Structure 1
Amino acid sequence: MSENRALDPKPDLKVGQVLRAERVVTDAAIAAFAELAGDRGRHHLPEEGRQAMAHGLFTASLATEVGGRIDYIARRMSWEFLRPVWSGDTISAEVTVRALSEVRAGTGVELTVEITNQHGEAVLRGESTGVVRH
């Protein structure tokens, strides 16, 4: 690795940095995701007296919002879905930069992810590796 090449594609991207995003889960957002993904399982559709359950990948997409901010291109993602997310929940993602390295295409990035609900309960944990191109 050349000592003159910066490993940080953006001045604020540092090992240990925590990036955050939050969203309120709505019936409309779950329905839109169901249409886009083609997953219209009953549990994802609101019925009178019952909340809709968000798709796991809809929940995980909160981490991709953070990735978009740093122009991250994922090469690998791994998710563990810990509890359901319901319409009306507020979910918060904490994406931690675990490692940075020089790779041919730019800066290699390793991330860990934890998404919690409004009660502070973890609903998803994961990790991802990818690149931020120079």
Structure 2
Amino acid sequence: MTLHEGAIITFERTFTMEDVELFTRISGDEGKHHLTPDEQGRVVIQGLLTATLPTKIGGDNNVLARTMEFEFLRPVFTGDKIICEVTVDKLERQTDRTAITSSFRCRNQKDREVLKGYFAGVIR
């Protein structure tokens, strides 16, 4: 996909217990709520693991992030399907790079917003 102002990129992911265990080992975020299943057998996903969803556009388009802001609105659990919608708000072509500013919203399978924010950076 070629990026342009107004472009909307949507993707989804369902987090697993294996994802949480790997992120726990990498991050050291061992909060009890990430390790102990609730009465439904789920654990709460680390916020920063959830925040990897909107950064996918960066990886897909070689964005070097300069600024990121995340607002965590409600917990995400293992087994939740999260749909992330990223909007390219601004693209500014420069001599040797392109500046990008994007906003995002992530919703769970019940259409409840779980995360929102923005990021800005450059594409070389």
CA RMSD after TM alignment: 1.5
Answer whether contact 1:105 1:131 (CA < 8 A) is retained. Answer: no
SS at structure 1 position matched to 2:109: coil
Counterpart in 2 of 1:83?
A: 74
Where do 4+ consecutive residues of structure 1 move more than 4 Å? Answer: none
Alpha-carbon distance, 1:48 to partner = 6.7
Counterpart in 1 of 2:25?
A: 35
Counterpart in 1 of 2:62?
A: 71
Provide TM-score, normalisation by structure 2.
Answer: 0.92
- Structure 2 regions of 5+ residues with no counterpart? none
SS at structure 1 position matched to 2:117: strand
Q: What count of residue pairs does the alignment treat as equivalent?
A: 123
The amino acid that maps onto 2:17 is D
Provide TM-score, normalisation by structure 1.
Answer: 0.86
Answer whether contact 1:21 1:66 (CA < 8 A) is retained. Answer: no
Are residues 1:132 and 2:96 paired?
A: no
Between structure 1 and structure 2, the one with the greater Rg is: 1
Offset from partner CA, 1:19-75 (integer Å, 9 cap, x none):
122111111101111111010110011437341100111001011122211111110
Answer whether contact 1:44 1:52 (CA < 8 A) is retained. Answer: yes
Quote the sequence identity (%): 37
SS at structure 1 position matched to 2:26: helix
Q: Supply the distance in 2 between the matched residues of 1:132 and 1:97 (Cα, whole angstroms).
A: 13
